[in-house]
Amino acid sequence: MEMASTARTVEEIFKDYSARRTAIVRALTHDVDDFYGLCDPDKENLCLYGHPNESWEVTLPAEEVPPELPEPALGINFARDGMNRKDWLSLVAVHSDSWLVSVAFYLGARLNRNERKRLFSMINDLPTVFEVVTERKPVKDKSSLDSASKSGGNTKRSSDGAVKSNPKLVDETFEDDEDEHCETLCGSCGGNYNADEFWIGCDVCERWFHGKCVKITPAKAESIKQYKCPSCGLKRGRQ
């Protein structure tokens, strides 16, 4: 088990989260027959662990109290034969999502408010384990499809169209990004964070933007109580 006492950056915690999530998704999809076989209801309380090296393990909970990291749901094996297989896997997936978030924020206990918001936003950009296992489309994909159909074309909204098309690129970059210095990506142009440039965060969708991309200067930002990016401003206007 990892020591949680060392200072960690948002990127390190997200990398840890992504690796554990990848392992659990594999256990509940690609390796599902092996996972199912290991969850013998006649055994003691078993837990599903995802590890930072992207491996998964079905084993007993940690012996030390309190454990070094939050523990996954206990006794996932007990309900295996009493439920429909898909329903049981969905239940394990929901508990696993809860565990993954609790581990990430346990490791991020020393993060400040903005860092916690950014970590949650990065986590939120990935489909949950439950969504993957049940093959449900993430809500974000649905909303962008709805927005496109409601707009009836992008001719009037070419600048906003760029904003709409970027989140998927951002998702893929976050998932594969191993550059510890890449703090976040602009929701408009997809460019990397640079401390020398002015950035502003949307209070609705919580994405961050270069000030120049959304035509907001530091002086103008001072007078804005709640900033809505161009995309969220348009959504609010259509309601």
Domains of the chain, residue spans: 10-134, 184-238
Round to whole Å and give the CA distance between 24 and 31: 10
pLDDT at 187 over 70: yes
Identify how many contiguous H helices and E strands the chain contains and give both numbers: 9, 4
Round to whole Å and give the CA distance between 38 and 182: 39
Q: What is the reported pLDDT for 35?
A: 96
Share of the chain above pLDDT 90, in %: 49
**pTM of the entire structure?**
0.57
pLDDT in tens, 54-107: 999 999 998 888 888 999 999 999 999 999 999 999 999 999 999 999 999 999
Q: What is the reported pLDDT for 31?
A: 95
Does the domain at 184-238 match CATH 3.10.20.30? Answer given as no
Residue 33 burial (C-beta neighbours within 10 Å; 0-12, 13-18, 19+): exposed
How many degrees, rounded to 5, is the angle at CA 15 between CA 193 and CA 131?
Answer: 105
Q: Which two tokens stand for residue 129?
A: 């384990």
Pick the range with the lowest mean pLDDT from 152-161, 163-172, 188-197.
152-161
Q: What is the reported pLDDT for 166?
A: 41
Residue 199 burial (C-beta neighbours within 10 Å; 0-12, 13-18, 19+): buried
Per the prediction, the chain carries an average pLDDT of 80
